[in-house]
């Protein structure tokens, strides 16, 4: 099973620097780490026909249209797992790709491919394991194949360095350094990616992607713009972020913070900086939660709906935990309608991100 083919096309636009007008219309954090010098005939067909002024909304519409042609997009997570157990899914890996399922994927260069990346995403309650089946690249000649524990775009990482349990330098695993001594690499959350460069036609690699259950998911990127999730941090000194890469309305229905008892329900007058356990709602135009704008701090428990609309490219629910208690937050989210972005109302906080959409 694969993510819709146009997801790969969209990635090509993110990484393409030849037409800056269209490039700048995309969310800033989806712009490339460094531009790809792709020949025009290798660019997405849609981009050639629509031209550099194609709006982001048009690209998103094309992405949804492409999803209609991929029957796997309509399968439930349980059905995906059942199919993966019965028969291993196989397909070719593109130079720029996105994958949301288990399977075996092979990349074979048909010409020098110098700036390639594949993004992997699973269900929130899963880890991702990348296993090298076969690798045929020329490390001495400048080829490389690296796994990154998380996602990175334009220098911004998810999870952020503050929220990840592993130091940043150890999140990169370079095949040319470790070889097959590390055939299998497991992510710390539901997203991972690979960077690769292959100079000689015919060279490449085959890898198998599998998932394992994660009983207490911490850092998550949502696959969908709508959903419901409960984030639980049980006696662990860690920070956990749930990222939704859409402008959304967040409705928090339940918040439990262990350092309060049932009698302490007074809202603090200013922020939660002095508390060891709290939840913050963040919004921004980048991937890294540590660089986002705080919209609300929640450092007192409550039961009942509290809604905030955040009109940003990326919205994050982030829980900071001291490790002394069991903390829990339950929330629903839905993508904002176009009219809500044009005429925001119902929020008691400024809509800092609306000007970036």
- Regarding whether 230 and 188 lie in a shared domain, the answer is no
pLDDT of 319 above 60: yes
191-247: pLDDT as tens digits: 999 999 999 999 999 999 999 999 999 999 999 999 999 999 988 888 999 999 989
In a domain, 125, yes or no: yes
Contacts (Cβ under 8 Å, ≥6 apart) of 223: 100, 121, 123
In a domain, 148, yes or no: yes
The band of 154, judged by pLDDT with boundaries at 50, 70 and 90, is: confident
The band of 353, judged by pLDDT with boundaries at 50, 70 and 90, is: low
- Regarding whether 207 and 76 lie in a shared domain, the answer is yes
- Where b means 16+ CB within 10 Å and e means fewer, 39-74 reads eeeebbebbeeeeeebebeebeebbeebbeebebee
Contacts (Cβ under 8 Å, ≥6 apart) of 260: 300, 301
- Regarding whether 154 and 80 lie in a shared domain, the answer is yes
In a domain, 196, yes or no: yes
Query: Cβ-count burial of 77 within 10 angstroms (0-12 exposed, 13-18 middle, 19+ buried)?
Result: middle
- Supply the angle between the helices 56-67 and 5-15 in degrees, to the nearest 10: 150
**Up-side HSE of residue 244: CA atoms within 13 Å toward CB?**
28
Over range 337-352, report the average pLDDT: 62
Give the distance, in angstroms, between the CA of residue 185 and the centroid of all CA atoms in the same chain.
18
In a domain, 86, yes or no: yes
- Regarding whether 175 and 237 lie in a shared domain, the answer is no
- Regarding whether 320 and 199 lie in a shared domain, the answer is no
CA–CA dist 257, 239 (Å, integer): 14
Over range 134-148, report the average pLDDT: 96
- Regarding whether 304 and 249 lie in a shared domain, the answer is yes
pLDDT of 172 above 60: yes
Number of domains in the chain: 2
Would you tell me how many other CB atoms lie within 10 Å of the CB of residue 126?
A: 21
In a domain, 16, yes or no: no
The number of residues in the chain equals 357
- Regarding whether 234 and 164 lie in a shared domain, the answer is no
In a domain, 193, yes or no: yes
In a domain, 347, yes or no: no
Instruction: Give the rounded percent of residues in the chain with a pLDDT score beyond 70.
Output: 68
260-285: pLDDT as tens digits: 543 333 344 456 766 788 999 999 98
- Regarding whether 251 and 186 lie in a shared domain, the answer is no
Over range 290-294, report the average pLDDT: 92
Give the distance, in angstroms, between the CA of residue 32 and the centroid of all CA atoms in the same chain.
15
Q: Are 129 and 185 in contact (CB under 8 A)?
A: yes
CA–CA dist 281, 315 (Å, integer): 7
Total H helices, total E strands in the chain: 7, 21
pLDDT of 65 above 60: no
Over range 74-100, report the average pLDDT: 75
In a domain, 178, yes or no: yes
**Average pLDDT over all residues of the chain:** 76
Q: Are 128 and 28 in contact (CB under 8 A)?
A: no
- Regarding whether 140 and 119 lie in a shared domain, the answer is yes
- Regarding whether 207 and 81 lie in a shared domain, the answer is yes
Give whole-number Cα distances, 107 to 75, 98, 261, 320, in Å.
Answer: 26, 13, 55, 40
- Regarding whether 196 and 135 lie in a shared domain, the answer is yes
Q: Which CATH number characterizes residue 102's domain?
A: 2.60.120.290
Residue ranges making up the domain that contains 323: 225-259+274-342
- Regarding whether 164 and 98 lie in a shared domain, the answer is yes
Phi then psi dihedrals of residue 70, to 5 deg: -110, 100
Query: What is the structure's pLDDT at 270?
Result: 56
Indicate the pTM of the whole model.
0.75
């Amino acid at each position: 099973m694969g993510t819709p083919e146009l997801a790969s096309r969209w990635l090509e636009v993110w990484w393409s620097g030849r037409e800056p007008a269209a490039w700048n219309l995309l969310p800033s954090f989806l712009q490339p780490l460094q531009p790809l010098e792709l020949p025009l005939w290798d660019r997405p067909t849609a981009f050639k026909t629509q031209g550099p002024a194609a709006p982001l909304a048009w690209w998103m519409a094309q992405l949804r249209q492409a999803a209609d042609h991929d029957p796997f997009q309509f399968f439930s997570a349980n059905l995906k797992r059942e199919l993966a157990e019965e028969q291993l899914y196989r397909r070719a890996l593109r130079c720029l790709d996105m994958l949301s399922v288990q399977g075996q994927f092979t990349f074979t260069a048909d010409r020098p491919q110098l700036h390639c990346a594949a993004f992997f995403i699973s269900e929130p309650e899963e880890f991702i394991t990348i296993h090298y089946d076969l690798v045929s690249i020329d490390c001495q000649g400048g080829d490389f194949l690296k796994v990154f524990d998380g996602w990175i775009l334009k220098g911004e990482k998810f999870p952020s360095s503050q929220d990840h349990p592993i130091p940043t330098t150890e999140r990169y695993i370079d095949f040319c350094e470790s070889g097959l001594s590390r055939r299998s690499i497991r992510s710390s959350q539901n997203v991972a990616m690979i960077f690769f460069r292959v100079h000689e036609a015919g060279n490449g690699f085959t890898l198998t992607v599998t998932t394992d259950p994660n009983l207490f998911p911490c850092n998550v990127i949502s696959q969908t713009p709508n959903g419901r999730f409960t984030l639980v941090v049980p006696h662990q000194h860690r920070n956990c972020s749930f990222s939704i890469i859409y402008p959304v309305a967040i409705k928090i229905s339940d918040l439990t913070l262990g350092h309060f008892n049932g009698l302490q329900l007074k809202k603090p007058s200013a922020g939660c900086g002095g508390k060891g356990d709290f939840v913050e709602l963040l919004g921004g135009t980048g991937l890294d939660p540590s660089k986002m704008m705080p919209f609300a701090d929640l450092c007192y428990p409550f039961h009942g709906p509290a809604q905030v609309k955040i009109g940003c490219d990326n919205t994050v629910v982030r829980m900071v935990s001291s490790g002394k208690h069991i903390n829990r937050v339950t929330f629903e989210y839905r993508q904002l309608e176009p009219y809500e972005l044009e005429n925001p109302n119902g929020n008691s906080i400024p809509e800092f991100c609306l000007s970036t959409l």
